[in-house]
Structure 1
Amino acid sequence: MSFMLFFEQNTFHIILECVLVGIATWFYMQRRKAQAKLAREPKLTREEEDALISEWQPEPLTPETPDDHFALNPRIANGKMTKEVMMDGRTCLNLASTNFLGFIGNERIESKAKQTIFKYGVGSCGPRGFYGTVDVHLDLEKDLAEFMECEESALYSYGFATIASAIPAYAKRGDIIFVDKACNFSIQKGVQASRSTIYWFEHNDMMDLERLLEEQDQRDKKNPKKAASLRRFLVVEGLYANTGRICPLPKLIEFKWKYKVRVFIDESFSFGVLGKTGRGVMEHYSIDPIQVDLVMASLENAIASTGGFCAGRSFVVGHQRLSGLGYCFSASLPPLLATAANEALSIIKEDPGRVIRLQECSRALHAGLTAALEGSAFRCREGEVLAPFRHIEVVDSSLCNEEKERLLDEVVEKAFEEGILLARARYLNDHEAFPIDPSIRVSTQSELEESELTRALEVIERAVKRV
């Protein structure tokens, strides 16, 4: 009687223990079988082992690199990457860097940075949330927010990490992100890290985007309970680094309210470039910044410093200070670079003519490069006249990428021989979400004189014809 009472009170524990004993017995029997099988296998003689060892050839840890690979034959720059740069002992006109507003080598910015070194040293030695925040970081965040006409901004120490950290700080597993197929690599890594469901739309194709949004809207209507907790994001670039095209922001804002999506814009190549005062694509289209949920941008192009920032509403930006991985776990931006970026921002405010001069140079580059390539084996990739860079690509689409790259490398080499520094646009092709045709990226800057740009275009015209 007592045994039955004990069994009734401990039924679950007895069953669990029996199951565990059964599992342990099964593993024990499997091990005995494996040992018995191993004992039955014929053993190799010492001579046979030595023969196998002598025949074995280890595979290389990395793939073989051809002798003519560009990484094995670097050019050495001496001095600052200003409008003119000393490269391999040759003075060249620099059409390779993204120093769009000519701030590299600016004496006022350098003087301010040196003063910061004397006060704070060269590093911050810690993440922002621990002991890496200095007053110059807060000053720069405040000034960036005011410049972008947003409530608040958050400063990051690395431009790539800004974009790649900001997106997964908001989008999580189960959410939906609509992304332009031409988006840069940092956006691709950001949406990948979010583990959200990703829908890619054709580059700047608003009909394709609306089709995807409409399909999602129909799915939401079929399952309203799930739709109530579903978050939708739309991620684009203000000025696309891979194409030089500007996003159609007014149409995107229309979709934002119609389909209830949050709009994130990467302004890394449009900040300091578009708009009358360089505020980016929102100023270019005269759109109130409050219409955009989050603005992300690098400080490594027009501002010629390091790091990046995110700007928007206070409750949106504040969330990153606890969930943005690049913000929470990376050492903060060195104070001297924060001061340099802030001084560059001050110069833009005092002299918006720099932005206007850059836009004039961009128009001249667009027209001149199109004319220089006419009738050759090369062409300009479709882009906007206000983009301060253009991509030169091979016309013949039947050629493989290796042949295209060889032709483009020859153009870069011949231009270098005549004192014009160009840059190949390099991509991690095996990791890109979509294939990108090889190209040369030709950049301009506000400090280029008309005669200098004319000479550069003449050299490019000769180079493409010689190739």
Structure 2
Amino acid sequence: YLRSTRASYFVPTSDVPHPPTSRRQSTLDSNDKRTSSTSASTQSARMELEALQARLGVALQQASANFQKVPGSAVLVRYIQSSYQNDPVRSAIELVLVLFFIRYLLSPSYSTHKQNYVKLREDEIDELIDDWAPEPLVAEQTPLEEAESERLPVIVGPTGPKVRLSNGRTVTNLASYNFYNFNSNEQIKEKAIQTLRTYGVGPCGPPQFYGTQDVHVKAEADIANYLGTEGCIVYAQSFSTVSSVIPAFCKRGDVIIADRAVNYSIRRGLQASRSHIKWFHHGDMDDLERAMKAVVKEQAKAKKLTRRFIVSEGLFETIGDSTDLPRLVVLKERYKFRIILDETWSFGVLGRTGRGLTEAQNVDPQQVDMIVGSLSGPLCAGGGFCAGAKDVVEHQRITSSAYTYSAALPAMLAMTASETVHLLQSNPDILTQCRQNIKAMRAQLDPRSDWVVCTSAPENPIMLLVLKPDVVKARKLSVDDQERLLMECADESLANGVMIARLKTRPYAHAIAAKGGGWYAQPALKVCITSALSKKDIEKAGVTIRHAITKVMTRKASSKST
């Protein structure tokens, strides 16, 4: 049965129908052609792929060879290999960050293809331009400033104790900082001319490069030896000195406690430092200690470690009095602060030999962290300086903007500073004559005048005369009224042969009032004493000034009553 059944499944091949021989042969030929063409295309693609791989291999070899020539490439390769073996996820994250950084660098800062971009028409652009009103670079002059500009006297010829004006009159000059008449010193003039012929007008280059000359090094050494500090750095501009020293050391997050009456240059430095500013009442050491205690307590709670500074002046520019330096040093040591002392107006003035407030109040100069001063006042030179420890000085040579980005001080002025420092140090009688004239002028003004009072220190050659508080209160005088009255007093004094000046409070008083705790500088007359005049000339000038003030104030009182 099995045999018969299996046999039934098999059919002889002769019984199966086949296609014709010619048709089957053509089908086989077409299949062979298709197979051969497919194999040929596959072989061509394989060859192209192999050629591409070869080119990529050569390019990778060249890139690898060039990369290996880069210094530190082997270290980078080892770092990537070890990092990938230990933590491949970290390598992937680093690669993503590198790609993101490259994309960030290559992407434009502003794209006009954003969805919120609004394309304006030409007429809309013109309308916006017409409506735009820029603020003026300089504010318009007030009527008081215009009147002052019209009355400014013009000096013809060199300055000195007696000067000739453009109108032909010769008047007594009490409006110059030439306290010791160094402008007329023939020895200084001769050395200045020799220096000018040797070094030229100016170095025309920044310090620390080709701008520093041997006279600058000598001036820095002379000032440091004169003050008794480890080092000194000389700046090219007096105004920019303290405003650059402060931000060189005080940064964001630091704390500065400053006197409310500090000058405009200091305030600019405080603003540039971006530190946390606190104020204490002028000359009030108890209020200063209160502020220092508050800072220490606040930082103890927050566990902050910040730098802390006290900023004050030797002789205050806007008031004329001096600070209590011994008490300042005691508080500094007790609460761990640093002191920045601006001696712009006290250097060359206070002390037996003019060394400043440290000599006048018997304080070791090395207890003051930074002593800032001017060379353009009583020294009749130019520029400024900062004296202190060597680290303090060297730090400024790199980080102080006014020193790094300014041309160096002209050699002639550096030599003049060295020479005048030597004269003050070797001949203290120069200061004695000036102080005698200060006493003579005070005797004619402060106790005898019914209208003004002197706020300056007894040894300050710049006498600031302000209207008495009872006069201001009785007449209800505003700041502008006081400015106008004092300007008329200066004009009346000039008409009688004595030229004096006024304290310039207008440029910055209102701008800094809010930041300075609402403090305003009171308008004042400025009388600059010089040793070049005799005691008799000083007394005569004092009488003239007193009579001029009395005449103006009496005239205003009578006109107001009528």
* Shorter-chain TM-score range: 0.7 to 0.9
Name the residue aligned to 1:386. Answer: 459
- For 2:184, what is the secondary structure of its paired residue? coil
Post-superposition CA distance 1:277-302 (Å, at most 9, x none): 11000001111111110100001111
**Does 1:115 pair with 2:191?**
no
Unaligned runs of 5+ in 2: 1-90, 105-109, 553-562
- Aligned mate of 1:345, from 411, 421, 446: 421
Distance 1:105 1:25 in 2: 65
Post-superposition CA distance 1:62-96 (Å, at most 9, x none): 55435643234432111222111112322111111
Aligned CA-pair RMSD: 3.1
Distance 1:65 1:222, change over 3 A: closer
Whichever of the two has the greater Rg, that structure is: 2
Distance 1:56 1:244 in 2: 48
- For 1:273, what is the secondary structure of its paired residue? coil
Pairwise CA distance, 1:29:
3.8
Pairwise CA distance, 1:382:
2.5
Name the residue aligned to 2:541. Answer: 456
**Does 1:82 pair with 2:160?**
yes
Pairwise CA distance, 1:134:
0.8
Q: Is the 8 A contact 2:251 2:275 kept in 1?
A: yes
Name the residue aligned to 2:501. Answer: 423
Structure 2: which amino acid aligns with 1:30? N
Name the residue aligned to 2:340. Answer: 264
Name the residue aligned to 1:4. Answer: none
- Aligned mate of 1:192, from 228, 248, 271: 271
Name the residue aligned to 2:329. Answer: 253
- For 1:393, what is the secondary structure of its paired residue? strand
Percent identity, aligned pairs only? 36
Distance 1:116 1:10, change over 3 A: closer
Distance 1:172 1:60 in 2: 30
Distance 1:29 1:258, change over 3 A: same
- For 1:431, what is the secondary structure of its paired residue? helix
Distance 1:410 1:72, change over 3 A: closer
Distance 2:213 2:131 in 1: 58
Structure 2: which amino acid aligns with 1:313? A
Name the residue aligned to 1:30. Answer: 116
Q: Is the 8 A contact 2:257 2:279 kept in 1?
A: yes
Structure 1: which amino acid aligns with 2:157? G
Name the residue aligned to 1:317. Answer: 393
- Aligned mate of 2:374, from 295, 298, 305: 298
Structure 1: which amino acid aligns with 2:306? L
Structure 2: which amino acid aligns with 1:436? A
Distance 2:520 2:199 in 1: 45
Unaligned runs of 5+ in 1: 1-8, 45-49
Distance 2:529 2:112 in 1: 71
Q: Is the 8 A contact 2:444 2:546 kept in 1?
A: no
Determine which structure has greater relative contact order: mean sequence separation of CA pairs < 8 Å that are 6+ residues apart, divided by chain length.
Answer: 1
Q: Is the 8 A contact 1:243 1:381 kept in 2?
A: no
Q: Is the 8 A contact 2:446 2:454 kept in 1?
A: no
Distance 1:59 1:294, change over 3 A: closer
Pairing 1:58-457 to 2, within 5 Å after superposition: 61=136, 63-65=139-141, 68-88=146-166, 89-224=168-303, 226=304, 229-374=305-450, 376=451, 379-394=452-467, 395-397=471-473, 398-427=476-505, 428=507, 429-432=509-512, 433=516, 434-457=519-542
Q: Is the 8 A contact 1:181 1:202 kept in 2?
A: yes
Q: TM-score, normalised by structure 2?
A: 0.72
Q: Say how many residue pairs are matched.
A: 438
Q: Is the 8 A contact 2:245 2:269 kept in 1?
A: yes
Q: Is the 8 A contact 2:445 2:543 kept in 1?
A: no
Distance 2:439 2:320 in 1: 12
Distance 1:65 1:268 in 2: 29
Structure 1: which amino acid aligns with 2:247? P
Structure 1: which amino acid aligns with 2:152? P
Higher normalized helix content (fraction of residues): 2
Distance 2:278 2:154 in 1: 42
